[in-house]
Amino acid sequence: MPTAPRDRRAMLKLVSVLFAGGTFASPVVGTQQTTETTTGTQADENGLVTVESEQDFDATVERIEGDIENIDVLTLVTTVDHSDNAESAGLDLPPTTLFIFGNPELGTPLMQTSRTIGIDLPQKLLVWQDGETVNVTYNDPQYLANRHGIENQQERLDTIARTLRTLATGSSEGGSKGGDGNTSGS
């Protein structure tokens, strides 16, 4: 899997691709029923999109954190290491890290339309290890829009979906390991 660009020029090119449009294809991990959205994403029945990382857990977490911090329009709000939190309570949990981040220029208009979407914003990416497999899961923006009754925001939702997809896969092509199915902001 190609790694995300680290130099400023390459990252700006990636951001311009995200905001200019494009499609991505990759499999959904798991066996739950999926539904296809207008952006070509496949989300499970709970609106979750999961892609498999070709990198190990630590490399995936490091890449995603760097990518979020390197895109000027995104703000990393916080990172939650659920495994460390479990350990502090004397419990065991396989590696599980949550990134909470957003872009107020994209998310605020959604909240102006339906304030309740604030329960689902800012956006989140969950990196979790299941045996030897490392997955990245996020909420499908169209599912959230349907959940909160948001209409007439398709371009904004598509931009958010492309950004989430790129962050999850580390590639503007959206590739991920295994299979040939299709999957898909503040």
- Please answer whether residues 114 and 149 qualify as being in contact, where contact means their C-beta atoms are separated by less than 8 angstroms: yes
> What is the sign, positive or negative, of the torsion defined by CA atoms of 28, 140, 100, 19?
positive
The SS3 call for residue 115 is helix
* pLDDT score of 40: 52
The SS3 call for residue 30 is coil
The contacts of residue 82 (CB under 8 Å, 6+ apart) are 93, 96, 97, 98
Indicate the pTM of the whole model.
0.75
* pLDDT score of 186: 59
* 139 to 44, 92, 113: CA distances (angstroms): 10, 26, 19
* CA proximity to 165, closest of 44, 32, 41: 41
* pLDDT score of 81: 98
If you ran DSSP here, which 8-state letter would residue 96 be given? Answer: E
Q: What CATH class has 8-19+47-169?
A: alpha beta
Long-range CB pairs of 45-48, under 8 A, 24+ apart, other chains included: 46/143, 47/139, 47/140, 47/143, 47/144, 47/147, 48/137, 48/138, 48/139, 48/140
* 69 to 19, 85, 101: CA distances (angstroms): 17, 23, 10
Per-residue pLDDT of the chain (186 residues; tens, 9 = 90+): 344 444 434 544 454 444 433 333 333 334 344 445 444 558 898 999 999 999 999 999 999 999 999 999 999 999 999 999 999 999 999 999 999 999 999 999 999 999 999 999 999 999 999 999 999 999 999 999 999 999 999 999 999 999 999 999 998 655 443 333 333 355
